[in-house]
Structure 1
Amino acid sequence: MKGFTRHLYFWVLVGIFLGGLLGWLFGDANPVIAGVAFKASSLKWLGDLFIGLVKMLISPVIFLTVVLGIAGMNDMKKVGRVGGKALLYFEVVSTIALAVGLFVMKVVKPGQGLHIDPATLDAKAIANYARAASEQSTAEFILHIVPKTFLDAFTANGDLLQVLLIAILFGFVLSRLGETGQTVYRFFEVCSKVLFGMINLVMKVAPLGAFGAMAFTIGKYGIGTIVNMAQLVGLFYVTAALFVVVVLGLVAHFTGFSILRFLNYIKSELLIVLGTSSSESALVPLMEKLERLGCSKSVVGLVVPSGYSFNLDGTNIYMTMASLFIAQALDIDLSWSQELALLGVAMLTSKGASGVTGAGFITLAATLAVVPSIPVAGMALILGIDRFMSECRALTNFIGNGVATIVVSKWEGELDAATLQRELADPSFVEKAEVA
Structure 2
Amino acid sequence: MIAHSVEAPARQVRKPFYRHLYAQVLAAIVLGALLGHVWPAGGEALKPLGDGFIKLVKMIIAPVIFLTVVGGIAGMRELGSVGRVALKAFGYFLVFSTLALIVGLVVANVVQPGAGMNVDPATLDAKAVAGYAHDAHETSVTGFLMAIIPTTMVSALTEGSILQTLFVAILFGISLSLVGRPAEPVLELVERLGLVVFKLTGILMKAAPIGAFGAIAFTIGKYGVGSLINLGALVATFYLTSLLFVLIVLGAVARAHGFSILKLLGYLKAELLLVLGTSSSEAALPNLIAKLEAAGCDRGVVGLVVPTGYSFNLDGTNIYMTLAALFIAQATGVHLSLGDQLLLMAVAMLSSKGAAGVTGAGFVTLAATLSIVPSVPVAGMALILGVDRFMSECRSLTNFIGNAVAAIVVARWEGKLDRAALDRALSQRPLVEENLEAAVEPQIIA
Q: Tell me if TM exceeds 0.5.
A: yes
Confirm whether residue 281 of structure 1 aligns to residue 294 of structure 2: no
1:148 aligned to which of 129, 146, 151: 151
Report if aligned partners of 1:8, 1:268 keep a CA contact under 8 Å in 2: yes
Deviations 1:238-283 (A, max 9, x none): 0000000000000000000110011001100000000000001111
Q: Name the aligned partner's letter for residue 329 of structure 1.
A: A
Pick from 335, 338, 348: which aligns with 1:336? Answer: 338
Which residue in the other structure is 2:27 paired with?
14
Q: Deviations over 1:201-251 (max 9, x none)?
A: 110010000000000000011111111101100110000000000000000
* Aligned with 1:220 (options 211, 215, 222): 222
C-alpha displacement at 1:150, in angstroms? Answer: 2.0
**Which amino acid is the alignment partner of residue 171 of structure 2?**
L
Aligned equivalents of 2:422, 2:152: Cα separation in 1: 41
Q: What residue identity is the alignment partner of 1:190?
A: R
Whole-Å separation in 2 of the counterparts to 1:423 and 1:27: 41
User: Does the 8 Å CA contact 1:278/1:355 hold for their aligned counterparts?
Assistant: no
Matching of residue 90 in structure 1 with residue 93 in structure 2: yes
Task: Give per-residue Cα distances to partners, 1:174-217, cap 9 Å, x unaligned.
Answer: 11000111111111111111111111111001000000000000
Larger displacement relative to structure 2 (313-322 or 134-143):
134-143
Are 1:125 and 2:138 matched, yes or no?
no
Change (3 A) 1:330 1:120: same
1:426 paired with 2:428, answer yes
Shift of 1:155: 2.8
Query: Which residue matches 2:258?
Result: 256
Quote the residue 1:108 is aligned against.
Answer: 111
The one-letter amino acid of 1:7's match is H
Q: Is the 8 A contact 2:136 2:355 kept in 1?
A: no
Shift, 1:357, TM fit = 6.0
How far apart are 1:424 and its partner, in Å?
1.2
One of 73, 77, 88 as aligned partner of 2:76 = 73
- Alignment deviations for residues 151-174 of structure 1 (CA, whole Å, 9 cap, x no partner): 222234x41111111111111111
The correspondence of residues 181-260 of structure 1 with structure 2, limited to 5 A, is: 181-260=183-262
Q: Tell me what 2:443 maps to.
A: none
Q: 8 Å contact 1:217–1:387 — kept in the other structure?
A: yes
> Given the alignment of the two structures, is residue 325 of structure 1 paired with residue 327 of structure 2, yes or no?
yes
Is the alpha carbon distance of 1:434 and 1:192 closer, same or farther for their aligned partners in structure 2, counting shifts above 3 Å?
A: closer
> Cα distance, 1:26 vs. partner?
1.2
Q: Deviations over 1:54-100 (max 9, x none)?
A: 00000111111111111111211110000000000111011111111
Unmatched 5+ stretches in structure 2: 1-13, 439-446
Decide whether the 8 Å contact of 1:118 with 1:378 is kept in 2.
Answer: yes
Please give the alpha-carbon distance, in whole angstroms, between the structure 2 residues aligned to 1:66 and 1:372. Answer: 42
Alpha-carbon distance between aligned partners in 2 of 1:292 and 1:2, rounded to the nearest angstrom: 19
Q: Name 1:35's counterpart in structure 2.
A: none
Distance (Å, rounded) in 1 between the aligned partners of 2:141 and 2:87: 22
Deviation string 1:127-149 (CA, Å, 9 cap, x unpaired) is 11111111123222221111222
Q: CA deviation at 1:377?
A: 1.1
Give 2:23's aligned amino acid: F
Q: Is the 8 A contact 1:252 1:259 kept in 2?
A: yes
Unmatched runs of 5 consecutive residues or more in structure 1: 29-38
Alignment partners' CA distance in 1, 2:322 and 2:128: 21
Contact 2:202 2:437 in 1 (8 A): no
Q: Within 1, Cα distance between the matches of 2:227 and 2:30? A: 18
Please give the alpha-carbon distance, in whole angstroms, between the structure 1 residues aligned to 2:395 and 2:430: 29
TM-score (normalizing by structure 2): 0.92
Q: What is the CA–CA distance in structure 1 between the aligned matches of 2:388 and 2:428, rounded to whole Å?
A: 37
- Normalising by structure 1, what TM-score? 0.95
Identity, % of aligned pairs? Answer: 60
The answer as to whether partners of 1:94 and 1:311 remain within 8 angstroms in 2 is: yes
Distance 1:427 1:225, change over 3 A: farther
Compute the displacement of 1:355 (Å).
Answer: 7.0
What is the root-mean-square deviation in Å for CA atoms of aligned residues? Answer: 1.6
Q: Aligned equivalents of 1:153 and 1:378: distance in 2? A: 37
